[in-house]
Amino acid sequence: MTAQIDTSSCPCPAWLPGSHLQTLYGALVARYHHIAFVRERVDTPDGDFLDFDWTAPGLFSDRLANGQMTTPDPRLAHTAARRWMQPEDWADVSTAADTPALVLFHGLEGSSRSHYAQAIAQHFRARGWIVVIAHFRSCSGFPNRMARAYYSGDSEDIAFMLEVVRQRAPLARWHAVGVSMGGNAMLKHFGELGATAQTQVEAVAAISVPLDLAVCGRHLSETWLGKSLYSRYFLRTMKVKIQEKAKRFPGNIDALRLSQARTLREFDDTYTAPMHGYKNALDYWTRAACKPLLGNIAVPTLLLNARNDPFVPEASLPSSGECSSSVLLHQPAEGGHAGFVTGGFPGNLGWLPNRLARFFELRS
């Protein structure tokens, strides 16, 4: 069985040519409606915690369940959340049967503040959906408790996150979206589950995913723009987080070697791979990649990758024969990495959430 194909284009504007402009403009400049969340903190089985940012019809970030207005929690000022979830709030996270719901897994160093998370959350919440942004460890604006952090193949944390949100709204019709790194971990999870995944969600969508981590890792570590622009951007925050961990967990992290890392490969060789059970970056990239598992996916899945993505070489994208018949491959020529800016100047981010909505609605 082979994947279905969508040949439609993403109508990127003529005033925004090229993969790099489409990526950077989408992330840094494009306009979107901002949305604030209510935050829940959940302890993990291994003694850590994960933060979930919720929004839903009837759940408001600026007032409590009893209607009383509340001021933003100053501890959350650097996040997209405004207050913490209270027990009585759960009555406002719809318990009605068949309420549509969406959980989003963000990309590398992303969060509920990320442009794509904001645009998607606002779109679906306005249409009556429950939406929750599930933060990977250390990405919610707070350092996690352990020496480990998050990584591209962490399908165990994906499974735990899905279990948490489904427990909170067990009667909802859940859908999942994974962006970039989060999409890889999500697809790996559903590929490992195979047919049993159909009991967890109605459908999933993966956006701008580096499906072949080895190819994409080398591309970002060895090309000029990959090293000087994109790797440098990600390492700016990643190294600070891990250097802080090195102080809390002396002897567990090679702080000197970490300080000298200039590429994602050097960072993964120094920290990500050894901390999470891999021999080195190449072993990590090879074993954590979701691409070999795409043929096992049984849940309806939209796999959206622009062919001009500066993080994901076109040659690394899967063919229809490498995916199961549950997968819809959409590979428009334009869009950049999680950009997909459309419209007249100054552009907007509406195309992506509308594309997701069309896919999900056809499978409702």
Residue-wise pLDDT for 93-148, tens only, equals 877 788 999 999 999 999 999 999 999 999 999 999 999 999 999 999 999 999 99
Could you please state the CATH topology (level 3) that the domain comprising 4-210+297-362 is classified under: Rossmann fold (3.40.50)
Within 8 A by CB and 6+ apart from 306, the residues are: 10, 19, 22, 208, 331, 332, 333, 334, 335, 336, 337, 339, 340
Q: Cα separations (Å) of 162 from 52, 92, 96, 234? A: 11, 20, 19, 26
What is the rounded CA–CA span in Å between residue 352 and residue 166? 25
Mean of all residue pLDDT scores within the chain: 96
Chain-centroid distance, C-alpha 130: 17
Answer left, alpha or beta for residue 98, where phi above 0 means left and psi between -120 and 50 means alpha.
left
- Give φ, ψ of 136 to 5 degrees: -70, 160
Q: Is the pLDDT of residue 195 over 90?
A: no
Indicate if the pLDDT at residue 1 is higher than 80. no
Over pLDDT 70: what percentage of the chain? 99
Model confidence at 194, in pLDDT bands (50, 70, 90)?
confident
Lowest mean pLDDT among 31-35, 167-171, 331-335: 31-35
Mean pLDDT along residues 275-293: 98
pLDDT in tens, 207-261: 999 999 999 999 999 999 999 999 999 999 999 999 999 999 999 999 999 999 9
Average pLDDT on 309-325 reads 97
Tell me the whole-structure pTM to 2 decimals: 0.97
Helix (H, G, I), strand (E, B) or coil at 39: strand
Q: Would you list the domain boundaries of the chain?
A: 4-210+297-362, 213-288
- Mean pLDDT for 57-71 is 93
For 78-102, the pLDDT digits (tens) are 999 999 999 999 988 877 788 999 9
d(CA 134, CA 308): 28
Q: What is d(CA 317, CA 306) in angstroms, rounded to the nearest whole number?
A: 10
Q: 76 is written with which tokens?
A: 């959350």
* Res 196 pLDDT > 90: no
Predicted confidence at residue 33, as pLDDT, reads 87
Q: 3-state DSSP call for residue 66? A: coil
Band the pLDDT of 364: cuts 50, 70, 90: low
pLDDT at 92: 83
Q: In the prediction, which pLDDT does 93 show?
A: 86
Position 12 scores a pLDDT of 96
